[in-house]
Chain A
Protein backbone atom coordinates (compact mmCIF):
# COMPACT_ATOMS: atom_id res chain seq x y z
CA UNK A 1 0.00 0.00 0.00
CA UNK A 2 1.50 3.19 -1.15
CA UNK A 3 2.31 5.96 1.34
CA UNK A 4 0.54 9.08 0.12
CA UNK A 5 2.41 12.23 1.09
CA UNK A 6 0.98 15.70 0.49
CA UNK A 7 3.38 18.62 0.87
CA UNK A 8 1.79 22.06 1.33
CA UNK A 9 3.84 24.84 -0.17
CA UNK A 10 3.42 28.58 -0.52
CA UNK A 11 4.44 30.98 -3.22
CA UNK A 12 5.71 34.08 -1.43
CA UNK A 13 7.14 37.47 -2.32
CA UNK A 14 10.92 37.38 -2.23
CA UNK A 15 11.95 38.62 1.22
CA UNK A 16 15.04 40.25 -0.19
CA UNK A 17 12.84 42.40 -2.42
CA UNK A 18 11.01 45.57 -1.42
CA UNK A 19 7.65 44.32 -0.15
CA UNK A 20 4.60 46.57 -0.07
CA UNK A 21 0.87 46.53 0.54
CA UNK A 22 -1.68 47.01 -2.22
CA UNK A 23 -4.59 49.43 -1.80
CA UNK A 24 -6.82 46.76 -0.28
CA UNK A 25 -4.07 46.09 2.28
CA UNK A 26 -3.25 42.68 0.89
CA UNK A 27 0.32 41.96 -0.15
CA UNK A 28 1.16 43.65 -3.43
CA UNK A 29 2.26 40.64 -5.44
CA UNK A 30 2.92 42.60 -8.62
CA UNK A 31 5.52 44.62 -6.85
CA UNK A 32 8.09 41.97 -6.17
CA UNK A 33 9.14 38.59 -7.55
CA UNK A 34 7.68 35.49 -6.01
CA UNK A 35 9.25 32.15 -5.21
CA UNK A 36 8.74 28.91 -3.30
CA UNK A 37 8.90 29.84 0.38
CA UNK A 38 12.35 28.82 1.57
CA UNK A 39 10.93 27.15 4.66
CA UNK A 40 8.75 24.94 2.45
CA UNK A 41 11.84 23.65 0.64
CA UNK A 42 12.70 21.88 3.89
CA UNK A 43 9.25 20.26 3.85
CA UNK A 44 9.77 19.04 0.28
CA UNK A 45 13.21 17.72 1.24
CA UNK A 46 11.89 15.76 4.23
CA UNK A 47 9.05 14.34 2.12
CA UNK A 48 11.62 13.19 -0.45
CA UNK A 49 13.71 11.55 2.28
CA UNK A 50 10.63 9.83 3.73
CA UNK A 51 9.76 8.60 0.26
CA UNK A 52 13.30 7.34 -0.32
CA UNK A 53 13.14 5.37 2.95
CA UNK A 54 9.72 3.90 2.15
CA UNK A 55 8.96 0.89 -0.06
CA UNK A 56 6.36 2.68 -2.03
CA UNK A 57 5.41 6.32 -1.68
CA UNK A 58 4.06 9.13 -3.78
CA UNK A 59 4.48 12.86 -3.17
CA UNK A 60 1.85 15.38 -4.19
CA UNK A 61 2.78 19.00 -3.77
CA UNK A 62 -0.15 21.32 -3.09
CA UNK A 63 -0.49 25.08 -3.22
CA UNK A 64 -3.23 27.69 -2.97
CA UNK A 65 -2.45 30.84 -4.86
CA UNK A 66 -2.62 32.87 -8.05
CA UNK A 67 -1.40 31.67 -11.44
CA UNK A 68 2.23 32.52 -10.66
CA UNK A 69 2.16 30.11 -7.72
CA UNK A 70 2.66 27.45 -10.36
CA UNK A 71 6.36 28.39 -10.13
CA UNK A 72 6.48 27.10 -6.55
CA UNK A 73 4.95 23.80 -7.68
CA UNK A 74 7.45 23.47 -10.55
CA UNK A 75 10.33 24.01 -8.15
CA UNK A 76 9.04 21.25 -5.84
CA UNK A 77 8.44 18.95 -8.82
CA UNK A 78 11.95 19.57 -10.08
CA UNK A 79 13.29 18.65 -6.63
CA UNK A 80 11.55 15.30 -7.03
CA UNK A 81 7.86 15.51 -6.04
CA UNK A 82 5.68 13.29 -8.27
CA UNK A 83 2.65 15.45 -9.01
CA UNK A 84 1.05 18.73 -8.08
CA UNK A 85 -2.30 20.25 -7.20
CA UNK A 86 -2.88 23.96 -7.69
CA UNK A 87 -5.95 25.55 -6.12
CA UNK A 88 -6.60 28.76 -7.99
CA UNK A 89 -9.69 30.94 -7.92
CA UNK A 90 -10.24 34.69 -8.21
CA UNK A 91 -12.41 34.56 -5.10
CA UNK A 92 -9.40 33.45 -3.05
CA UNK A 93 -7.78 36.89 -3.13
CA UNK A 94 -7.21 38.11 0.44
CA UNK A 95 -7.93 34.77 2.15
CA UNK A 96 -6.55 34.65 5.71
CA UNK A 97 -4.93 31.72 7.53
CA UNK A 98 -8.21 30.20 8.70
CA UNK A 99 -9.64 30.35 5.18
CA UNK A 100 -6.46 28.97 3.66
CA UNK A 101 -6.55 26.06 6.08
CA UNK A 102 -10.10 25.29 4.91
CA UNK A 103 -9.05 25.26 1.26
CA UNK A 104 -5.96 23.18 1.95
CA UNK A 105 -7.85 20.69 4.14
CA UNK A 106 -10.49 20.15 1.44
CA UNK A 107 -7.85 19.75 -1.25
CA UNK A 108 -5.87 17.33 0.92
CA UNK A 109 -8.97 15.22 1.55
CA UNK A 110 -9.81 15.24 -2.13
CA UNK A 111 -6.27 14.19 -3.07
CA UNK A 112 -6.10 11.49 -0.41
CA UNK A 113 -3.26 11.34 2.12
CA UNK A 114 -1.49 9.42 4.82
CA UNK A 115 0.95 12.17 5.71
CA UNK A 116 0.82 15.94 5.27
CA UNK A 117 4.16 17.76 5.43
CA UNK A 118 4.44 21.54 5.87
CA UNK A 119 7.19 24.05 6.52
CA UNK A 120 7.26 25.57 10.01
CA UNK A 121 5.88 28.90 8.75
CA UNK A 122 5.65 30.91 5.56
CA UNK A 123 8.38 33.45 5.01
CA UNK A 124 5.84 36.22 4.37
CA UNK A 125 3.07 35.91 6.95
CA UNK A 126 5.32 33.92 9.35
CA UNK A 127 2.32 32.96 11.49
CA UNK A 128 3.28 29.28 11.78
CA UNK A 129 -0.30 28.23 12.53
CA UNK A 130 -1.32 26.38 9.37
CA UNK A 131 -0.04 22.92 10.35
CA UNK A 132 -1.98 23.10 13.64
CA UNK A 133 -5.08 24.37 11.81
CA UNK A 134 -4.84 21.53 9.29
CA UNK A 135 -4.54 18.95 12.08
CA UNK A 136 -7.61 20.44 13.75
CA UNK A 137 -9.62 20.49 10.52
CA UNK A 138 -8.55 17.02 9.38
CA UNK A 139 -8.92 15.67 12.95
CA UNK A 140 -5.54 13.95 12.83
CA UNK A 141 -2.46 14.30 15.09
CA UNK A 142 -0.17 17.31 14.66
CA UNK A 143 3.52 16.49 14.89
CA UNK A 144 4.93 19.95 14.42
CA UNK A 145 8.13 22.02 14.53
CA UNK A 146 10.32 18.98 13.94
CA UNK A 147 14.05 19.17 13.46
CA UNK A 148 14.13 15.43 12.73
CA UNK A 149 11.40 13.29 11.25
CA UNK A 150 10.95 9.70 10.11
CA UNK A 151 8.10 7.45 9.10
CA UNK A 152 8.06 3.73 9.72
CA UNK A 153 5.43 1.06 10.30
CA UNK A 154 2.48 3.42 10.00
CA UNK A 155 3.97 5.79 12.56
CA UNK A 156 5.66 9.16 12.33
CA UNK A 157 8.28 10.09 14.90
CA UNK A 158 10.25 13.26 15.32
CA UNK A 159 12.15 15.66 17.53
CA UNK A 160 10.74 19.03 18.55
CA UNK A 161 13.15 21.56 20.03
CA UNK A 162 11.02 23.84 22.18
CA UNK A 163 11.87 26.90 24.24
CA UNK A 164 12.36 24.98 27.45
CA UNK A 165 12.79 21.36 26.39
CA UNK A 166 13.45 18.94 23.58
CA UNK A 167 10.67 16.44 22.99
CA UNK A 168 10.51 13.17 21.10
CA UNK A 169 7.10 12.81 19.49
CA UNK A 170 5.21 9.92 18.01
CA UNK A 171 1.88 9.60 16.21
CA UNK A 172 0.04 7.08 14.09
CA UNK A 173 -0.70 7.99 10.47
CA UNK A 174 -2.53 9.83 9.08
CA UNK A 175 -0.90 12.91 10.57
CA UNK A 176 0.19 16.47 9.83
CA UNK A 177 3.90 17.19 10.21
CA UNK A 178 5.79 20.45 10.07
CA UNK A 179 9.56 20.71 9.84
CA UNK A 180 12.00 23.47 10.77
CA UNK A 181 15.05 24.71 8.88
CA UNK A 182 17.11 22.48 11.17
CA UNK A 183 15.68 19.33 9.54
CA UNK A 184 18.32 19.28 6.81
CA UNK A 185 19.40 21.32 3.81
CA UNK A 186 17.05 21.12 0.86
CA UNK A 187 18.51 19.63 -2.30
CA UNK A 188 18.98 21.63 -5.48
CA UNK A 189 16.98 20.47 -8.47
CA UNK A 190 19.18 18.62 -10.96
CA UNK A 191 19.02 19.37 -14.69
CA UNK A 192 17.33 16.02 -15.10
CA UNK A 193 14.87 16.95 -12.35
CA UNK A 194 14.06 20.25 -14.04
CA UNK A 195 13.44 18.53 -17.37
CA UNK A 196 11.34 15.78 -15.74
CA UNK A 197 9.24 18.35 -13.86
CA UNK A 198 7.93 19.73 -17.15
CA UNK A 199 6.17 16.46 -17.84
CA UNK A 200 4.74 15.91 -14.37
CA UNK A 201 0.99 16.38 -13.95
CA UNK A 202 -0.38 19.56 -12.33
CA UNK A 203 -4.04 19.30 -11.43
CA UNK A 204 -5.94 22.57 -11.23
CA UNK A 205 -8.81 22.95 -8.76
CA UNK A 206 -11.15 25.83 -8.02
CA UNK A 207 -13.52 26.56 -5.15
CA UNK A 208 -16.39 24.76 -6.84
CA UNK A 209 -14.30 21.59 -7.16
CA UNK A 210 -13.71 21.76 -3.42
CA UNK A 211 -17.33 22.62 -2.58
CA UNK A 212 -16.33 25.85 -0.87
CA UNK A 213 -18.56 28.92 -1.10
CA UNK A 214 -16.91 32.14 -2.21
CA UNK A 215 -17.98 33.95 0.98
CA UNK A 216 -16.11 31.44 3.13
CA UNK A 217 -12.78 32.73 1.79
CA UNK A 218 -11.22 35.83 0.28
CA UNK A 219 -11.18 39.30 1.81
CA UNK A 220 -14.94 39.16 2.45
CA UNK A 221 -14.66 35.87 4.25
CA UNK A 222 -11.58 36.83 6.26
CA UNK A 223 -11.95 36.64 10.02
CA UNK A 224 -9.50 39.45 10.55
CA UNK A 225 -9.29 42.89 9.05
CA UNK A 226 -6.24 45.05 8.51
CA UNK A 227 -7.34 48.63 9.20
CA UNK A 228 -4.07 50.30 8.40
CA UNK A 229 -0.51 49.70 7.32
CA UNK A 230 2.18 52.31 7.69
CA UNK A 231 5.67 52.05 6.39
CA UNK A 232 8.09 52.20 9.24
CA UNK A 233 9.89 55.51 9.13
CA UNK A 234 13.51 55.13 8.11
CA UNK A 235 15.66 55.04 11.21
CA UNK A 236 17.44 58.26 11.82
CA UNK A 237 21.06 57.74 10.97
CA UNK A 238 22.97 56.55 13.98
CA UNK A 239 26.44 57.50 15.10
CA UNK A 240 29.12 55.45 13.44
CA UNK A 241 32.69 55.52 14.63
CA UNK A 242 35.83 53.84 13.33
CA UNK A 243 37.77 51.88 15.88
CA UNK A 244 41.20 53.35 16.22
CA UNK A 245 41.87 51.76 19.56
CA UNK A 246 39.13 53.55 21.45
CA UNK A 247 36.05 51.91 19.82
CA UNK A 248 35.20 49.76 22.85
CA UNK A 249 35.49 52.71 25.22
CA UNK A 250 33.43 54.98 22.98
CA UNK A 251 30.73 52.33 22.76
CA UNK A 252 30.73 51.97 26.55
CA UNK A 253 30.33 55.73 26.78
CA UNK A 254 27.29 55.56 24.49
CA UNK A 255 25.76 52.67 26.46
CA UNK A 256 26.33 54.50 29.74
CA UNK A 257 24.66 57.58 28.26
CA UNK A 258 21.64 55.42 27.40
CA UNK A 259 21.67 54.06 30.98
CA UNK A 260 22.45 50.49 29.91
CA UNK A 261 25.50 50.42 32.14
Chain B
Protein backbone atom coordinates (compact mmCIF):
# COMPACT_ATOMS: atom_id res chain seq x y z
CA UNK B 1 0.00 0.00 0.00
CA UNK B 2 1.19 3.52 -0.63
CA UNK B 3 0.74 6.88 0.90
CA UNK B 4 0.55 8.73 -2.43
CA UNK B 5 -2.95 10.05 -1.69
CA UNK B 6 -1.89 11.73 1.53
CA UNK B 7 -0.92 15.30 0.84
CA UNK B 8 -0.67 16.67 4.37
CA UNK B 9 1.50 14.38 6.39
CA UNK B 10 4.19 12.06 5.04
CA UNK B 11 4.49 8.63 6.60
CA UNK B 12 7.99 7.26 7.18
CA UNK B 13 9.59 5.55 4.16
CA UNK B 14 10.37 2.44 6.13
CA UNK B 15 6.74 1.92 7.08
CA UNK B 16 4.28 -0.28 5.25
CA UNK B 17 2.24 2.95 5.12
CA UNK B 18 -1.55 3.07 5.19
CA UNK B 19 -3.13 -0.28 5.89
CA UNK B 20 -6.64 -1.62 6.30
CA UNK B 21 -7.84 -4.51 8.37
CA UNK B 22 -9.62 -7.38 6.64
CA UNK B 23 -12.08 -9.83 8.10
CA UNK B 24 -13.02 -13.33 7.05
CA UNK B 25 -15.99 -15.34 8.18
CA UNK B 26 -15.58 -19.10 8.68
CA UNK B 27 -18.94 -20.81 8.48
CA UNK B 28 -17.76 -23.98 10.05
CA UNK B 29 -17.68 -25.33 13.54
CA UNK B 30 -14.44 -24.93 15.46
CA UNK B 31 -13.95 -27.55 18.20
CA UNK B 32 -12.20 -26.03 21.19
CA UNK B 33 -9.97 -27.59 23.86
CA UNK B 34 -12.49 -26.66 26.57
CA UNK B 35 -14.96 -29.12 25.00
CA UNK B 36 -17.24 -26.49 23.55
CA UNK B 37 -17.57 -25.44 19.90
CA UNK B 38 -17.76 -22.15 18.15
CA UNK B 39 -20.57 -22.70 15.61
CA UNK B 40 -18.86 -20.22 13.28
CA UNK B 41 -16.24 -17.57 13.76
CA UNK B 42 -14.54 -14.70 12.06
CA UNK B 43 -10.96 -13.52 12.13
CA UNK B 44 -9.78 -9.99 11.55
CA UNK B 45 -6.26 -9.61 10.18
CA UNK B 46 -3.88 -7.35 8.33
CA UNK B 47 -1.43 -8.22 5.58
CA UNK B 48 1.67 -6.42 4.37
CA UNK B 49 3.70 -7.16 1.24
CA UNK B 50 2.81 -9.47 -1.63
CA UNK B 51 2.34 -13.20 -1.75
CA UNK B 52 4.73 -14.64 -4.36
CA UNK B 53 3.65 -16.97 -7.17
CA UNK B 54 4.40 -20.23 -5.31
CA UNK B 55 2.98 -18.87 -2.03
CA UNK B 56 6.24 -19.64 -0.23
CA UNK B 57 7.00 -16.23 1.26
CA UNK B 58 4.21 -15.94 3.82
CA UNK B 59 5.01 -15.01 7.41
CA UNK B 60 2.54 -15.38 10.27
CA UNK B 61 2.86 -12.90 13.12
CA UNK B 62 1.27 -13.99 16.42
CA UNK B 63 0.32 -11.25 18.81
CA UNK B 64 0.75 -11.09 22.56
CA UNK B 65 -1.70 -10.62 25.44
CA UNK B 66 -3.05 -7.16 24.70
CA UNK B 67 -1.98 -7.04 21.05
CA UNK B 68 -4.10 -7.14 17.93
CA UNK B 69 -3.93 -7.53 14.16
CA UNK B 70 -2.52 -4.04 13.61
CA UNK B 71 1.17 -4.96 13.68
CA UNK B 72 2.56 -2.35 11.30
CA UNK B 73 1.69 0.78 9.35
CA UNK B 74 -1.02 3.37 9.96
CA UNK B 75 -4.79 3.19 9.68
CA UNK B 76 -5.09 6.82 8.77
CA UNK B 77 -2.84 9.74 8.07
CA UNK B 78 -3.89 11.24 11.40
CA UNK B 79 -2.74 8.18 13.37
CA UNK B 80 -0.26 9.21 16.01
CA UNK B 81 1.07 5.69 16.48
CA UNK B 82 1.77 2.93 13.98
CA UNK B 83 1.10 -0.79 14.60
CA UNK B 84 2.58 -2.52 17.63
CA UNK B 85 5.56 -4.06 15.85
CA UNK B 86 6.47 -1.20 13.54
CA UNK B 87 10.08 -1.57 14.75
CA UNK B 88 10.41 -4.98 13.09
CA UNK B 89 7.97 -5.04 10.15
CA UNK B 90 8.27 -2.91 7.02
CA UNK B 91 10.32 -2.31 3.89
CA UNK B 92 13.99 -2.89 4.70
CA UNK B 93 13.19 -3.90 8.27
CA UNK B 94 14.01 -7.33 9.77
CA UNK B 95 10.65 -8.75 8.66
CA UNK B 96 10.88 -7.14 5.26
CA UNK B 97 7.58 -6.39 3.52
CA UNK B 98 9.48 -6.11 0.21
CA UNK B 99 10.32 -9.79 0.48
CA UNK B 100 7.61 -11.37 2.56
CA UNK B 101 3.84 -11.54 2.63
CA UNK B 102 3.17 -10.82 6.29
CA UNK B 103 -0.11 -11.83 7.94
CA UNK B 104 -1.10 -10.79 11.45
CA UNK B 105 -4.45 -12.11 12.66
CA UNK B 106 -6.37 -10.94 15.68
CA UNK B 107 -6.74 -13.82 18.13
CA UNK B 108 -10.07 -15.45 18.86
CA UNK B 109 -11.40 -14.06 22.12
CA UNK B 110 -9.92 -10.67 21.43
CA UNK B 111 -11.88 -7.44 21.48
CA UNK B 112 -10.43 -6.00 18.28
CA UNK B 113 -12.49 -7.56 15.54
CA UNK B 114 -12.17 -11.33 15.66
CA UNK B 115 -14.90 -13.38 17.35
CA UNK B 116 -14.72 -12.66 21.07
CA UNK B 117 -16.70 -11.63 24.12
CA UNK B 118 -17.76 -8.32 22.56
CA UNK B 119 -19.12 -9.88 19.34
CA UNK B 120 -22.51 -11.43 18.63
CA UNK B 121 -23.10 -15.08 19.44
CA UNK B 122 -24.68 -16.39 16.21
CA UNK B 123 -26.69 -18.96 18.18
CA UNK B 124 -28.39 -16.49 20.52
CA UNK B 125 -28.13 -13.30 18.48
CA UNK B 126 -26.82 -11.60 21.62
CA UNK B 127 -23.40 -10.39 22.59
CA UNK B 128 -21.26 -13.28 23.93
CA UNK B 129 -19.94 -11.51 27.03
CA UNK B 130 -18.79 -14.01 29.65
CA UNK B 131 -20.34 -16.87 27.62
CA UNK B 132 -17.52 -16.76 25.12
CA UNK B 133 -15.65 -20.04 25.66
CA UNK B 134 -12.19 -20.20 27.21
CA UNK B 135 -9.70 -20.32 24.35
CA UNK B 136 -6.32 -22.06 24.45
CA UNK B 137 -3.13 -21.49 22.50
CA UNK B 138 -3.86 -24.66 20.51
CA UNK B 139 -7.29 -23.27 19.61
CA UNK B 140 -5.60 -20.18 18.21
CA UNK B 141 -3.25 -22.32 16.14
CA UNK B 142 -6.22 -24.26 14.78
CA UNK B 143 -8.11 -21.09 13.87
CA UNK B 144 -5.00 -19.58 12.25
CA UNK B 145 -4.54 -22.77 10.20
CA UNK B 146 -8.02 -22.16 8.77
CA UNK B 147 -6.94 -18.65 7.87
CA UNK B 148 -3.83 -20.07 6.16
CA UNK B 149 -6.06 -22.38 4.11
CA UNK B 150 -8.27 -19.47 3.17
CA UNK B 151 -5.26 -17.40 2.06
CA UNK B 152 -3.84 -20.33 0.07
CA UNK B 153 -0.79 -20.79 2.27
CA UNK B 154 0.25 -24.43 2.69
CA UNK B 155 3.38 -23.63 4.61
CA UNK B 156 4.49 -20.44 6.36
CA UNK B 157 8.08 -19.43 5.63
CA UNK B 158 8.12 -18.50 9.31
CA UNK B 159 5.77 -18.11 12.23
CA UNK B 160 6.96 -15.37 14.54
CA UNK B 161 5.81 -14.05 17.91
CA UNK B 162 6.88 -12.59 21.23
CA UNK B 163 5.61 -13.39 24.72
CA UNK B 164 2.17 -15.03 24.39
CA UNK B 165 2.83 -14.79 20.64
CA UNK B 166 5.97 -16.89 21.14
CA UNK B 167 3.88 -19.55 22.85
CA UNK B 168 1.64 -19.68 19.77
CA UNK B 169 4.74 -20.15 17.61
CA UNK B 170 5.88 -23.03 19.81
CA UNK B 171 2.43 -24.60 19.54
CA UNK B 172 2.41 -24.16 15.75
CA UNK B 173 5.67 -26.12 15.58
CA UNK B 174 4.15 -28.91 17.69
CA UNK B 175 0.64 -29.07 16.20
CA UNK B 176 1.31 -28.29 12.53
CA UNK B 177 4.89 -29.49 11.93
CA UNK B 178 4.60 -29.49 8.13
CA UNK B 179 3.08 -26.06 7.87
CA UNK B 180 6.00 -23.89 8.94
CA UNK B 181 9.65 -23.82 7.88
CA UNK B 182 10.88 -21.60 10.71
CA UNK B 183 9.64 -20.91 14.23
CA UNK B 184 10.83 -17.66 15.79
CA UNK B 185 10.07 -17.56 19.50
CA UNK B 186 10.89 -14.31 21.29
CA UNK B 187 10.76 -13.51 25.03
CA UNK B 188 8.57 -16.53 25.71
CA UNK B 189 8.37 -19.55 28.02
CA UNK B 190 7.13 -23.12 27.63
CA UNK B 191 4.68 -22.50 30.46
CA UNK B 192 4.03 -19.84 33.06
CA UNK B 193 5.81 -19.92 36.39
CA UNK B 194 3.77 -19.96 39.59
CA UNK B 195 4.70 -16.31 40.05
CA UNK B 196 3.40 -15.48 36.55
CA UNK B 197 0.09 -17.20 37.32
CA UNK B 198 -0.09 -15.31 40.61
CA UNK B 199 0.26 -11.97 38.81
CA UNK B 200 -2.48 -12.98 36.37
CA UNK B 201 -4.77 -13.96 39.22
CA UNK B 202 -4.32 -10.57 40.92
CA UNK B 203 -5.13 -8.91 37.58
CA UNK B 204 -8.28 -11.01 37.16
CA UNK B 205 -9.38 -10.40 40.73
CA UNK B 206 -8.97 -6.67 40.19
CA UNK B 207 -11.38 -6.90 37.24
CA UNK B 208 -13.87 -9.34 38.75
CA UNK B 209 -14.14 -7.49 42.06
CA UNK B 210 -14.96 -4.20 40.34
CA UNK B 211 -18.61 -3.44 41.26
CA UNK B 212 -19.27 -2.63 37.62
CA UNK B 213 -18.14 -6.06 36.40
CA UNK B 214 -21.62 -7.63 36.82
CA UNK B 215 -20.27 -11.16 36.29
CA UNK B 216 -19.02 -10.13 32.89
CA UNK B 217 -22.42 -8.80 31.75
CA UNK B 218 -21.38 -5.18 32.09
CA UNK B 219 -22.33 -4.55 28.43
CA UNK B 220 -26.01 -5.08 29.42
CA UNK B 221 -25.63 -2.43 32.12
CA UNK B 222 -23.91 0.02 29.80
CA UNK B 223 -20.88 0.26 32.04
CA UNK B 224 -17.35 -1.12 32.04
CA UNK B 225 -15.28 -2.27 35.04
CA UNK B 226 -12.89 0.60 34.50
CA UNK B 227 -11.17 0.57 37.86
CA UNK B 228 -10.52 -3.15 37.80
CA UNK B 229 -9.20 -3.19 34.26
CA UNK B 230 -7.02 -0.18 35.01
CA UNK B 231 -5.52 -1.90 38.05
CA UNK B 232 -4.91 -5.05 36.04
CA UNK B 233 -3.05 -3.09 33.40
CA UNK B 234 -1.00 -1.15 35.96
CA UNK B 235 0.11 -4.39 37.56
CA UNK B 236 0.90 -5.90 34.17
CA UNK B 237 2.87 -2.85 33.15
CA UNK B 238 5.12 -3.08 36.20
CA UNK B 239 5.98 -6.66 35.31
CA UNK B 240 6.74 -5.82 31.67
CA UNK B 241 9.35 -3.22 32.59
CA UNK B 242 12.56 -3.83 34.49
CA UNK B 243 13.62 -2.07 37.66
CA UNK B 244 16.45 -0.44 35.70
CA UNK B 245 14.19 0.69 32.88
CA UNK B 246 11.73 2.29 35.33
CA UNK B 247 14.54 3.99 37.23
CA UNK B 248 16.06 5.29 34.00
CA UNK B 249 12.72 6.61 32.78
CA UNK B 250 11.22 8.02 36.00
CA UNK B 251 13.63 7.70 38.90
CA UNK B 252 11.95 9.15 41.99
CA UNK B 253 11.05 12.27 40.09
CA UNK B 254 8.19 14.19 41.65
CA UNK B 255 5.32 15.41 39.53
CA UNK B 256 4.99 18.79 41.23
CA UNK B 257 8.53 19.02 42.54
CA UNK B 258 7.41 18.41 46.13
CA UNK B 259 5.80 15.80 48.35
CA UNK B 260 2.10 16.42 48.98
CA UNK B 261 1.70 14.20 52.05
CA UNK B 262 -1.42 12.64 50.61
CA UNK B 263 -2.48 9.74 48.46
CA UNK B 264 -2.67 11.60 45.21
CA UNK B 265 0.04 11.34 42.62
CA UNK B 266 3.44 12.40 43.96
CA UNK B 267 5.85 10.50 41.78
CA UNK B 268 6.09 10.49 38.00
CA UNK B 269 5.87 6.69 37.93
CA UNK B 270 2.45 6.88 39.61
CA UNK B 271 1.24 9.33 37.04
CA UNK B 272 2.61 7.17 34.23
CA UNK B 273 0.95 4.00 35.52
CA UNK B 274 -2.39 5.76 35.98
CA UNK B 275 -2.17 7.10 32.44
CA UNK B 276 -1.30 3.67 31.03
CA UNK B 277 -4.12 2.08 33.00
CA UNK B 278 -6.71 4.65 31.94
CA UNK B 279 -5.81 4.61 28.28
CA UNK B 280 -5.95 0.82 28.31
CA UNK B 281 -9.55 0.91 29.53
CA UNK B 282 -10.51 2.90 26.43
CA UNK B 283 -9.07 0.35 24.05
CA UNK B 284 -9.45 -3.01 25.74
CA UNK B 285 -12.20 -5.25 27.03
CA UNK B 286 -12.25 -6.73 30.52
CA UNK B 287 -13.66 -10.12 29.45
CA UNK B 288 -10.92 -10.42 26.84
CA UNK B 289 -8.30 -9.67 29.47
CA UNK B 290 -9.69 -12.50 31.59
CA UNK B 291 -9.68 -14.88 28.62
CA UNK B 292 -6.17 -14.03 27.47
CA UNK B 293 -4.62 -14.38 30.92
CA UNK B 294 -6.34 -17.76 31.33
CA UNK B 295 -4.95 -18.91 27.97
CA UNK B 296 -1.51 -17.95 29.28
CA UNK B 297 -2.03 -19.77 32.58
CA UNK B 298 -3.23 -22.95 30.89
CA UNK B 299 -0.42 -23.11 28.38
CA UNK B 300 1.82 -26.11 29.02
CA UNK B 301 2.55 -28.28 25.96
CA UNK B 302 4.75 -30.64 28.00
CA UNK B 303 1.78 -31.60 30.20
CA UNK B 304 0.45 -33.86 27.45
CA UNK B 305 3.84 -35.57 27.16
CA UNK B 306 4.69 -36.74 30.71
CA UNK B 307 5.79 -33.19 31.51
CA UNK B 308 8.68 -33.72 29.14
CA UNK B 309 9.03 -30.74 26.83
CA UNK B 310 11.60 -32.53 24.66
CA UNK B 311 9.03 -35.24 24.01
CA UNK B 312 6.48 -32.57 23.12
CA UNK B 313 8.92 -31.14 20.59
CA UNK B 314 9.72 -34.50 19.00
CA UNK B 315 7.26 -34.10 16.13
CA UNK B 316 8.45 -30.58 15.27
CA UNK B 317 10.14 -30.10 11.89
CA UNK B 318 10.71 -26.35 11.88
CA UNK B 319 14.05 -24.66 12.35
CA UNK B 320 13.98 -22.56 15.48
CA UNK B 321 15.28 -19.17 16.47
CA UNK B 322 14.81 -18.43 20.16
CA UNK B 323 15.58 -14.96 21.54
CA UNK B 324 15.50 -13.75 25.15
CA UNK B 325 16.42 -10.49 26.86
CA UNK B 326 18.70 -10.16 29.88
CA UNK B 327 16.45 -7.87 31.95
CA UNK B 328 13.18 -9.69 31.22
CA UNK B 329 12.06 -11.05 34.57
CA UNK B 330 8.50 -11.86 33.51
CA UNK B 331 9.85 -14.43 30.99
CA UNK B 332 13.51 -14.60 31.93
CA UNK B 333 16.26 -16.00 29.66
CA UNK B 334 16.20 -19.17 31.77
CA UNK B 335 12.63 -19.80 30.54
CA UNK B 336 13.70 -19.49 26.91
CA UNK B 337 16.59 -21.82 27.65
CA UNK B 338 14.09 -24.48 28.72
CA UNK B 339 12.75 -24.40 25.17
CA UNK B 340 16.26 -24.43 23.72
CA UNK B 341 17.34 -27.43 25.79
CA UNK B 342 14.26 -29.40 24.84
CA UNK B 343 15.11 -28.71 21.19
CA UNK B 344 18.76 -29.65 21.71
CA UNK B 345 17.72 -32.91 23.36
CA UNK B 346 15.74 -33.70 20.23
CA UNK B 347 18.58 -32.57 17.91
CA UNK B 348 16.39 -29.96 16.28
CA UNK B 349 17.84 -27.09 14.31
CA UNK B 350 17.96 -24.28 16.84
CA UNK B 351 19.72 -20.98 17.28
CA UNK B 352 19.51 -19.10 20.57
CA UNK B 353 20.47 -15.54 21.39
CA UNK B 354 20.25 -13.80 24.76
CA UNK B 355 20.15 -10.11 23.93
CA UNK B 356 21.62 -7.60 26.37
CA UNK B 357 18.80 -5.10 27.03
CA UNK B 358 17.57 -3.18 30.05
CA UNK B 359 13.96 -2.71 28.85
CA UNK B 360 12.51 -5.75 30.62
CA UNK B 361 9.90 -7.93 28.91
CA UNK B 362 8.90 -5.08 26.58
CA UNK B 363 12.35 -5.29 24.92
CA UNK B 364 10.90 -7.55 22.25
CA UNK B 365 9.00 -4.58 20.83
CA UNK B 366 12.01 -2.24 20.79
CA UNK B 367 14.48 -1.56 17.97
CA UNK B 368 17.50 -2.75 19.98
CA UNK B 369 20.46 -2.87 17.55
CA UNK B 370 21.74 -6.36 18.43
CA UNK B 371 18.23 -7.76 18.39
CA UNK B 372 17.52 -6.12 15.04
CA UNK B 373 20.76 -7.51 13.59
CA UNK B 374 20.01 -11.03 14.77
CA UNK B 375 16.45 -10.97 13.48
CA UNK B 376 17.58 -9.42 10.17
CA UNK B 377 20.30 -12.04 9.68
CA UNK B 378 17.89 -14.86 10.42
CA UNK B 379 15.12 -13.49 8.21
CA UNK B 380 17.63 -13.12 5.38
CA UNK B 381 18.29 -16.83 5.74
CA UNK B 382 14.56 -17.51 5.59
CA UNK B 383 14.26 -15.27 2.51
CA UNK B 384 17.12 -17.08 0.76
CA UNK B 385 15.51 -20.45 1.44
CA UNK B 386 12.16 -19.51 -0.04
CA UNK B 387 13.74 -17.30 -2.73
CA UNK B 388 11.74 -14.34 -1.46
Partners in one complex: no
Mark B residues whose CB is within 8 Å of A: none
